[in-house]
Amino acid sequence: MNRYIQQAVCYVLLYGVLTMLITRTTMADSMDSNQFRIRYSNINFGSNDGTSTNYDLSTTNGQLAAKEFSSAGYIVKAGFQYWHSIIPFSFSISDIGIELGSLTPQTPSTATTTLTVSFGGAGQYQVTAGEVGTLQTANGANSIADTTCNGGAQTCTESSANVWNSASAYGFGYNMSGTGIPGDFVNNTYYRPFPDLSLSESPAVVMSSSSITTSSQSTVTFKVNVSTTQAAGTYQTLIKFVATPSF
């Protein structure tokens, strides 16, 4: 039996994206000078930022119609501070250099990293992921294919996880566990392959929620399994995680 020892290294890079609303031309004024700055977006007969040891209340008063108005080309959130978030959006990855170690044929190797999101907007957030090519050697001569899980009735796709627990099912894929993950990751045996961004495939949503959170966490488990005919070498790829909030 031909037994090679391989080293597979997966590097994870983070790209943060903030969704911005671009509208048509509007009229506005900055209410400040060298001596003052008015922070409130709507000045009528009253506005204030009231605090005590037990509360912090930010208010504006006087608008006759306080709600969101929209039409083709614009959105107006009028009458009050429509959503005043005290939780800034943030996204972090616990380990951005994932090392899968020396691989033994038909013996799966796994490694994990944790995604953490803080979100306080009125909309929702989502985190997407995709690979920049398959696991491959530096010269591109050899590669490790993406997993299809156990195959047959247990075949997985980029949008649908399935069981991957067979030692004779080869490839590279990932599992998700934790908060805000897709429902097809039923347990820790369910995996998907990453979409290949180098082939213009759309990234997959791996976390999403409309709930306010100071620390929503999920764990990504990377898994690779190779056959006895896999060529020796150092294999690597890049995984892009993109976190996008909407307000």
Rounded-to-integer distance, Cα 173 and Cα 221, Å: 8
**Confidence bin at 198 (pLDDT 50/70/90):** very high
pLDDT score of 50: 73
96 and 88 Cβ atoms separated by less than 8 Å: no
Instruction: Map out the domains of the chain with their CATH numbers.
Output: 6-18+89-245 (2.60.40), 21-84 (no CATH)
Contact (Cβ atoms closer than 8 angstroms) between residue 109 and residue 103: yes
pLDDT at 85: 67
Q: Which residue has the higher pLDDT, 128 or 15?
A: 128
Q: DSSP letters along 81-94, please?
A: -S---SS--EEEES
Residues 6+ apart with CB under 8 A from 206: 115, 127, 128, 129, 176, 181, 182, 218, 220, 241
For the stretch 45-83, pLDDT in tens is 566 677 787 777 776 665 556 667 788 887 776 655 555
Structure tokens at 45: 């007969």
Asked if residues 239 and 14 have their Cβ atoms less than 8 Å apart, the reply is: no
Provide the whole-model pTM: 0.72
Structure tokens, 211: 């709930």
How many Å apart are CA 221 and CA 28, to the nearest integer? 49
Question: pLDDT-derived band of residue 122, with 50, 70 and 90 as boundaries?
Answer: confident
pLDDT in tens, 86-118: 788 899 999 998 999 889 999 999 999 999 999
Q: Residue 15 and residue 9: Cα distance in Å, rounded?
A: 20
Task: Kindly state the tokens that stand for 100.
Answer: 């899968």
pLDDT at 83: 55
CA–CA separation, 9 and 2 (whole Å): 22
- How is residue 237 written in tokens? 């790829």
pLDDT beyond 60 at 20? no
First and final C-alpha spacing in the chain: 58
Residue 17 clears pLDDT 60, i.e. is over it: no
Report the distance separating Cα 223 and Cα 110, nearest Å.
4
Rg over CA atoms, the chain = 24
